[in-house]
Amino acid sequence: MAVTISLPDGSKKEFPSEPSVLDVAKSIGPRLAKDTLGAVIDNEKDIIDLRSKIKNGTSIKIVTVKDKVSLEVIRHSAAHVMAQAVQELWPKVKVTIGPVIENGFFYDFDSPHAFTPEDLEKIEKKMQEICKKDYAVTREEWQVDEAIQTFEKMGEKYKVELIAELKNKGEKTVSIYHQGPWFDLCRGPHVQHLGQIPVMKVLSLAGAYWRGDEKREQLQRIYATAFLNEADLKKHLHELEEAKKRDHRRLGKDLGLFIFHHLAPGSPFFTPNGTVIYNELQRFLRDKYQEHNYQEVITPQIFDIDLFHQSGHYENYRENMYFSKIEERDFGCKPMNCPGHCLLYGSDHRSYRDLPWRVADFGRLHRYERSGVMHGLTRVRSFSQDDAHIFCALEQLQAEIEGFMQFLNEVYTTLGMTKYHVYLSTRPPKRMGSDEVWDKAEAALEKALKQLNIEYTVNIGDGAFYGPKLDIMFVDAINRPWQLGTLQCDFNLPQAFSLKYVGDDNAEHAPVMLHRAILGSFERFIGVYLEHTAGHLPFWLSPIQVRVLNVTDRQLDYSAHLEKELKALGIRAYLDGRNEKLGYKIREAQLLKVPYMLVIGDKEKDTDTISVRLSSGEMVNNLKKSDFFEMLEKEYRLRSLKSLIKPKQGEKV
Residue 385 annotated to the active site: yes
Opening angle at CA 15, ends 10 and 17, nearest 5:
135
With residue 174 as reference, give the H or E element that holds it.
Answer: strand 173-179
Catalytic residue among 131, 186, 333, 338: 338
Residue 515 annotated to the active site: yes
Residue 338 annotated to the active site: yes
| H-state helical runs in 255-337 | 272-291, 305-311, 313-317
Residue 427 annotated to the active site: no
* DSSP conformation letters of 557-576: HHHHHHHHHHHHTT--EEEE
With residue 411 as reference, give the H or E element that holds it.
Answer: helix 397-414
What gap in Å lies between CA 567 and CA 543, rounded to an integer?
13
Q: Which residue spans within 406-545 are E strands per DSSP? A: 420-425, 456-459, 469-475, 481-490, 501-502, 508-509, 512-521
With residue 389 as reference, give the H or E element that holds it.
Answer: strand 382-392
Catalytic residue among 515, 532, 547, 572: 515
* Cβ atoms of residues 47 and 190 within 8 Å: no
582 phi and psi angles, rounded to 5 deg: -60, -40
Cβ-proximal residues to 61 (8 Å cutoff; 6+ apart), any chain: 7, 8, 39, 40, 41
Catalytic residue among 469, 516, 593, 613: 469
Q: Which residue spans within 476-569 are E strands per DSSP? A: 481-490, 501-502, 508-509, 512-521, 546-550
Give the Cβ contact number of residue 364 at 10 Å.
Answer: 13
What gap in Å lies between CA 90 and CA 384, rounded to an integer?
47
Residue 367 annotated to the active site: yes
Distances (CA, A) of 140 to 55, 146, 183: 20, 12, 10
What gap in Å lies between CA 283 and CA 530, rounded to an integer?
18
What gap in Å lies between CA 59 and CA 21, rounded to an integer?
11
Catalytic residue among 139, 159, 341, 389: 389
Residue 387 annotated to the active site: yes
Catalytic residue among 84, 310, 385, 488: 385
Amino acid at 520: G
**Within its chain, how far is the Cα of 157 from the centroid?**
33
Q: Which residue spans within 570-642 are E strands per DSSP? A: 573-576, 596-600, 609-614, 618-624
**Within its chain, how far is the Cα of 41 from the centroid?**
29
Catalytic residue among 367, 381, 516, 547: 367
| H-state helical runs in 9-154 | 21-28, 30-35, 71-89, 117-132, 144-154
Catalytic residue among 23, 361, 387, 576: 387
Sheet with 651-652: strands ordered across? 573-576, 546-550, 596-600, 609-614, 618-624, 651-652
Q: Which residues are catalytic?
A: 338, 367, 385, 387, 389, 469, 515
